[in-house]
Structure 1
Amino acid sequence: MTIYFYKVWQPYGCFSNFSPHCIEIDGTHWPTVEHYYQAQKFVGSPDAVIIPFIHAASTPEEAAALGRCSNYQIRPDWDLVKITVMRAAVFKKFMTHPEIRQILLVTGDEMLVEDSPRDYFWGCGLDKSGENNLGKILMSVRTEIRQMISYSVISRKELSP
C-alpha cells in the first residue's frame, strides 16, 4: 500500500517539510525543514542577504514564498545540490524528533509519496507522474535509520560480557 502525504494536518503530515519540527544544522536553529531548504538556495549568491529574512519567517509558507521569489538570484549550483541539501535536512529532522522517527519507521517498506498536485519534482503532481523526490528521500532516510539501529543493537550485543 502506498502512503500519500501532503498537508501537515493530514495523516503522515509530519513527513511534510512544513511540519512544525525544528532542526539545527551548522549551529543554526531552523523552525522547519522548509525554512532551511529555502534559505540554502541563496548561500553564496549575490542575494544571500535574503537568508535572515527566510530564517525569521513566521511560517514555512512565508519562508517558501521568499525562497521562490523570482526577484532574487539563487546560487548557481542549486540544481546540483538541492537534493543533497534536502536529504540532510530531512535526515536531521527525523534524527532530532523521536516521535516522528517512529512514525517513519512504522511505515515499513511502504512507498512514500508526496501528494502535491503542483510539484512534479518533489511530489507526484496532479496526474501522479512526478518524480517524488521527497518521498524517495524519506524512504532513503528510513533505510539509513534502520541500518543505524541495527548496527547499534549488534554493537551492544558484541560488547556485552
Structure 2
Amino acid sequence: MASDTEFIDLLERRIKLSIHTTAPARVISYNESKRTADVELLFMSVDKDNNAEKYKVIQGVPVQGMRYKISESFKAAISSLIPTEGSIDGSNASVKIDNAIEFTPFLKKDDVVVVSFAERALDNLNGTQTFDPEFHRTHDIDDCIVLGVLF
C-alpha cells in the first residue's frame, strides 16, 4: 500500500508543479513602444528526478498598464512654468483633470516583477473580441502577463 501512496503523492506533486499561477520574474529587456517584456522566472523548475533548473526566458510578455480618473481637483505645487508674458506663480495651484490619465508602464533591466499566467492560451487575443483559444494549453508559462513591479 505504501507504494500506491507514494505514486499518488508523486503524481499530485507533478500536476501541481505543471500548473502556473503567479510568480516573481526578472526583466531581461523591455520594449516600451510595444509594451512587452522578456522575462526570466525567479522560481526554478524541478525535473522528474528532482533536479532544479532554470525556466527558459519568456519573450514578448504583455505588460499591464493602468488608467485612472481623478474625480476631484487637488492642490499642487507646479514648477518649471514658462510664461509668455508677465510671471506665473505655481506654488499654490489647483489642478483639475477632466479626462482619464493613462500610465504607460516603464520597466528596466533587472527589475523584479510579478507575472500571472492566463487560464488558456493567449495566442489569438486581439483587442476586445471574444475568441477561441484554439490551443489546449492551460496555465502555461508562454501565456503570462506582467502585472507590475515588486519594489
TM-score bracket, normalised by the shorter chain, equals under 0.3
Provide the TM-score with structure 1 as the length reference.
0.22
Q: Could you say which structure has the larger radius of gyration?
A: 2
Name the structure where strand makes up a greater proportion of residues.
2
Higher relative contact order, chain-length normalized (CA < 8 Å, sep 6+): 2
Name the structure where helix makes up a greater proportion of residues.
1
